[in-house]
């Protein structure tokens, strides 16, 4: 069946916002977009053809909001939801032993618990219809580790394990569960992970890939069959190197990455101060 309706989380910026734009303009879909910032959602809807984007603002860390969001999706799409995009995610750059426990809980709630909750709702709905897709926006950090991003990497490893398991459970059901795993992408993620949630003057991560190019690859993968998809120029190479040459990869990461990413973290915070 053709995919014509989608629920996209984390739609106020970066990958999520571009996903909504491309799903509407390039694939002619109708989208329910959600994020915390109502003003961002309103500007997104206003920039796209009238009636193609519905919005619902709220925090995915609130289970009551997730219930309300799903009820809204069933109202907006009485004919059925074809695609759930679990895109919303947060990170925070910090040494693990110094991380605030409240931040650890927030990362896991937004990156793992909320996507699991929405995926359960969607799978029940889609299995009954015999058709649909649940797409997780994961990360190359679902396969490899990174210093000062331990909680984020742990959440993405868990997402990838969930995707692998659901692939077996849902075989023959008509429901496809898959993950797209980008490397660094142009967005506000890096800025927010450094502790700046002002939303002003976006400071992109060094060596980040263009968001429109990365998202275009993700959108094409909706028509594919892969369980894990690697958009952008570098994602597949990073994961491939970790698998094909694990010892050299670990040697490089062990000796180079701690100093590099600590310096990057400190420079980023200095710019934001």
Give catalytic residues, as residue numbers.
152
Contact predicate 4/77, CB 8 Å? no
Q: What is d(CA 163, CA 157) in angstroms, rounded to the nearest whole number?
A: 10
Q: Are 55 and 31 in contact (CB under 8 A)?
A: no
């Amino acid at each position: 069946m053709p995919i014509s309706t989608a629920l996209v989380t984390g739609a106020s910026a970066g990958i999520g916002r571009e996903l909504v734009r491309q799903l509407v303009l390039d694939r002619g879909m109708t989208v329910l977009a959600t994020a915390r910032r109502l003003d961002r959602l309103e500007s997104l809807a206003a920039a796209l053809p009238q009636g193609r984007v519905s919005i619902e603002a709220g925090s995915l860390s609130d289970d009551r909001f997730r219930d309300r969001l799903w009820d809204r999706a069933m109202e907006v799409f009485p004919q059925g939801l074809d695609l759930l995009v679990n895109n919303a995610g947060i990170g925070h750059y910090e040494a693990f032993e110094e991380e605030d426990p409240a931040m650890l809980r927030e990362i896991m709630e937004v990156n793992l618990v909320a996507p699991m909750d929405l995926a359960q709702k969607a799978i029940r709905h889609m299995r009954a219809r015999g058709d649909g897709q649940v797409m997780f926006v994961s990360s190359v950090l679902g396969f490899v580790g990174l210093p000062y991003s331990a909680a984020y990497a742990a959440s993405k490893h868990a997402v990838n394990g969930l995707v692998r398991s659901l692939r077996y459970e849902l075989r023959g059901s008509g429901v496809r569960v898959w993950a797209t795993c980008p490397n660094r992408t142009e967005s506000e993620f890096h800025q927010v992970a450094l502790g700046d949630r002002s939303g002003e003057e976006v400071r992109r991560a060094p060596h980040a890939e263009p968001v429109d190019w990365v998202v275009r690859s993700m959108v094409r993968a909706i028509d594919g069959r892969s369980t894990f998809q690697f958009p952008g120029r570098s994602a597949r190479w990073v994961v491939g190197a970790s698998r094909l040459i694990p010892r050299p990869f670990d040697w490089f990461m062990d000796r180079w990455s701690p100093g590099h990413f600590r310096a990057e973290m400190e420079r980023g915070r200095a710019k934001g101060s």
